[in-house]
Chain A
Amino acid sequence: MLTDENRKILVTFLIFPHHSPSMRIVPFTVSAIITTGLVFALNKQWGSVSPMGKFLSPQHGLWQNAEPEDQSFDAELSFSGLKGRAEVYFDDRLVPHVFAENDEDLYFIQGYLHAKFRLFQLDLQTKAAAGRASEMAGKKAVQYDREQRRLGMVYAAENAVKEIEKDPVSKAIFDAYTSGVNAYISSLKEPDIPIEYKLLNIKPERWSNLRTALLLKMMAKNLSSGTESDLANTNAKSIFMPDELRILYPQVPDSLVPIVPKGTVFDKPGIVPVKPVLADSLYLTKKDMVTAGEISKPDVNNGSNNWVVAGSKTQSGAPILCNDPHLELSLPSIWYEIQLVTPNSNAYGVSLPGSPFIIIGFNDSIAWGVTNSQRDVKDYYEIKFKDKSKAEYWFNGKWEKTIRKEETIKVKGGKDVIDTVAYTIFGPVMYDESFQGADSIGKGRNLAVRWTAHDPSNEGYTFYKLNRAKNYDDYAEALKTFTCPGQNFVFASKSGDIAIWQQGKFPARWDRQGLYVMPGEDSSFMWQGFIPQQENPHIKNPERGFLQSANQRPVDSAYPYFIPGSYITPRGITIDNKLAAMTGITVKDMMTLHGNYFNTLAEDAKGILLKYIRENELSDKEKEYLQIFRNWDLMASPDSKGQTIYQCWWDSLEAEIWKDELSRAKLPFPWPEEQTTMEILKRDSVLHYADNINTPQVENLPDVVTAAFKKAATGLAQKETEGKLEWAKFKNSTVYHLIKDLKGFARSGLQVGGNGNIINAVTHSHGPSWRMIVHLTTPTEAYGVFPGGQSGNPGSRFYDHDIDTWVEVRYNKLWFMREGDRTDKNIKWVMKFSSKS
């Protein structure tokens, strides 16, 4: 610190020159201007270039984020927000094991740790959720921000906060978490702020319960907003006949292996929605086009696998539960591993930075995991405004008032953008004449969004209860209030129960309700109610001794409700086949299954492709590729050339079959699922879609399959000259930093196979974001790994240290620490917390 002595010296230096009677004014002025100019230039943001003087300064900038390899995380901290004492024990992977005296302190500390290790991630994710990305990224994010606001993300989060704060227990927990995050932010000294802030030249912002809710709504968007294609479907409806639509976009695939085993008998439905009288003319047969489309449509691969095997199928006689949620992979990782202990609870697993609780994990009695339900819970209604002011809309025979929310988007390095969003009885009007999303030529239909994520709910509380659940009844009770995004909660207990519930708040729809944009001039097309919670698809202790969910349709056609969604069929088939064939299962078997590369879809497709290809029309090079394909073992392993050839051929075939049909009006169209294409090909060798409607001659299936192969071969030859014919090299799996442009903070070229439709679902930048295996023995035996590390600091050795373990499908043994382990040799650092009086 500055001592008085130092200060005196400095002051003397500064004022000394003023005693000089005459100085050389000109050279002094010139050099002073140069110096000032230099300092100014190095202290200023130039476009996207951060202030270099500040950034490079070893005492202020990037070097301060260079965490020494032998960094100690020991600390003694006291905060007025804490009620009692608490200790955090870090193991050698920097996983904190938090021991607190009560729930509030527990979640205060979770908030503190999230902020300490993931502050920029917290800030960025919730700003993006709220439509405030432009504050960080500038002008290029304005359209994204408008879309977030028009989708009602903040509105949804505000509704959630109201619900959270209604219940005193839940309010206390969320408040404690928020205080913990802010306690860290307040203690943060400028040189210690994460490097991303320095690069972007911005400052951290304080936390609030609203921001926690925003994070949860961002998850809701990622998992339940991209699972409908209503706008594109509306265009498909305008060019295809109803029977064609049923073939191209079937509700129940032929090869479906549902979550609730086939043949299960369902109760009579508690609610039977009635189709409106005018549904045919106003809706089902109406031909109209929609030009609007989402800018940031979540990846449909946001899926996951989970499965559980009962003691009857395991070697030990205890159940084993497995989960691997597939999300966009990122650094810092989406997950933060943690153990949370109080005298009344003890849970271990992964948490979402920005939210209290453990989301996927286990405690002393049970284990649970989640996959996405892929259900469609978001519909569009066409609104008729009285005039451009959007102040009134036509509803049930009269003009109703909208609520207009003025949205001010602050733009880094630019002027504020003002946008007005009108709210109707359905929800916010997302698209109108001033905003058509991804489409710029649109004539501007007014479309309001009805989305279950807008409804008041407290999803966090489900996890609070799951963290403490002791048995099946506790688990089933915890799920009841979970609203959005619909999830498949897999469950196992030490008492031997296994179960899956698909839980969410799902509208009870009449046949095809909400597949397309619906009329919004009256209440007749509105949702008439929700499927009663106890009728959600679920199953407990099936005779066959195992359960699985992998984003497929949860039930077969016997289920009494119409449940559209973006289901993914192949992985469920592979998992079901594998588990059915296994007995005496061990943890090791489950690890092998997580890493499985078998391509179920290709198993069917290979025969079809080989049946129709006209080999005599191929060049020598093409024959060579065909030979590799013929010898392919159907494994999407990292060094497989067959998988690369297959994928390119298949993609090219889909384009050959569908492109001409779907690009007629140059508008967004839903491509049939690859499973559907395969099933159509399997069923129907005289497929009329094979004919390219843009050419005079009539193409048949062999023409199309051969043409697709030839086109694919051209691309493959190019890849081969680049040395990228092997699958891992071809797809170049990469874990990007949250700011994708910061390539230096990413890890690319990972030697990993798999694909979205394969159990080990790694695509270019998407895949198993956490693999967990819990063996419900006493004591619990658990394993886990995620492609990243505990620290969000790119300058820490804990930033990405588990990526290689993850690539090789190896695991960390999860240390379920107990009260008696407080002096265990696994403990590397201790943080002591106490209350400040």
Chain B
Amino acid sequence: MKFITAIILTALLSFISGLFLPWWCLAIAAGAVAAVIHQKAGKAFLAGLLGVFLLWAGLAWWMDMKNNSVISHKVASILPLGGSSWALILVTGLVGGLVGGFAAITGSFLRSSAK
């Protein structure tokens, strides 16, 4: 339950911070969630990673669908990802997720000896 809550809260807080703060504030969001909803390092990492991954990949997927993949196809051939929109969505999710995951570990260690 904690795990699921952490994922949802991470995604939610990252989303809100992203509306008006620089992109990297998701690290603060993920770290804070991990510090409040305490889990073991591994689990915290996974929750942080999944929370941000789902948010970023999900948003990208939604925007891509509305856009009919017009831009993802072009950017994916520049990056280079062979012009694959799916690859770009995946990479988007992973980059955000990694930052979220490591931030969550950090948050978890902050909290771990508080009890």
Seen from chain A, the residues whose Cβ lies within 8 Å of a Cβ on chain B are 1-2, 6, 9-10, 13-14, 16-17, 19-24, 27-28, 31-32, 34-35, 38-39, 42-43, 52-54, 56-70, 195, 199, 742-745, 794-797, 799
A-B contact pairs, 22 of them (CB 8 A): A2-B20, A6-B16, A10-B32, A13-B33, A21-B114, A23-B110, A39-B24, A54-B23, A56-B92, A57-B96, A58-B63, A58-B92, A59-B19, A59-B59, A60-B18, A62-B71, A66-B71, A66-B72, A69-B68, A744-B75, A744-B78, A794-B71
Known: A28-B109, A31-B102, A195-B71. A60 touches B23 (CB 8 A): yes
In the bound assembly, the distance between CA atoms of A106 and B63 in angstroms comes to: 34
User: For A43, what are the chain B residues with a Cβ–Cβ distance below 8 Å?
Assistant: 23-24
Is B8 close to A, CB under 8 A? no
Q: Which of B61-91 contact A (CB under 8 A)?
A: 63-64, 66-68, 70-78, 83, 91
CA distance A21 to B112 in the complex (A): 11
* Complex alpha-carbon distance, A56 and B103, angstroms: 18
Please report the C-alpha to C-alpha distance between residue A57 and residue B22 in the assembled complex, in whole angstroms: 10
- Candidate in B23, B32, B111 with the most chain A CB atoms within 10 angstroms: B23
Do A63 and B64 touch (CB < 8 A)?
Answer: yes
The CA-CA distance from A743 to B78 in the complex, in Å, is 7
Q: Which residues of A contact B92 (CB under 8 A)?
A: 56, 58, 63
Residues of the A chain whose Cβ atoms lie less than 8 Å from the Cβ of B109: 23-24, 27-28, 31
CA of A57 to CA of B75 in the docked complex: distance in angstroms? 14
CB distance from B107 to the nearest CB of A (A): 8
- With A53-B95, A63-B92, A66-B70 in contact, do A13 and B75 touch (Cβ < 8 Å)? no
Bound-state CA distance A32–B108 (Å) is: 11
Q: Are A38 and B18 in contact (CB under 8 A)?
A: no
Question: Is B99 a contact of A24 with CB atoms below 8 Å?
Answer: no
Q: Let me know if B106 and A35 touch, CB within 8 A.
A: yes
Cβ of B59 to closest chain A Cβ, rounded Å: 4
Minimal Cβ-Cβ distance residue in B for A799: B70
Please determine whether B83 and A39 come into contact, CB atoms closer than 8 angstroms: no
Q: Which of A62, A63, A68 has the most B CB atoms < 10 Å from its CB? A: A63
| Cβ-neighbour of A20 out of B41, B74, B110 (below 8 A) | B110
* Chain A residues, CB < 8 A from B20: 1-2
List of B residues within 8 angstroms of A61 by Cβ: 23
Measured CB to CB, the closest approach of chain B to A15, in angstroms, equals 10
Residues on the A chain within 8 Å of B4, using CB: none
A730 → chain B closest CB, angstroms: 23
Determine if B49 is an interface residue (Cβ-Cβ < 8 Å). no
State how many angstroms separate the Cβ of B104 from the closest Cβ of chain A.
Answer: 9
Which residues of chain A are within 8 angstroms of B113 by Cβ–Cβ distance?
20, 22-24
Assess whether B106 is in contact with A32, with CB atoms less than 8 Å apart. yes
Looking at the complex, which one of A10, A23, A57 makes contact with B56 (CB distance below 8 Å)? A57
How many Å from the CB of A193 to the closest CB on chain B?
14
Known: A31-B106, A32-B106, A745-B74. A57 touches B18 (CB 8 A): yes
Contact partner of B106 (CB less than 8 A), chosen from A13, A28, A797, is: A28
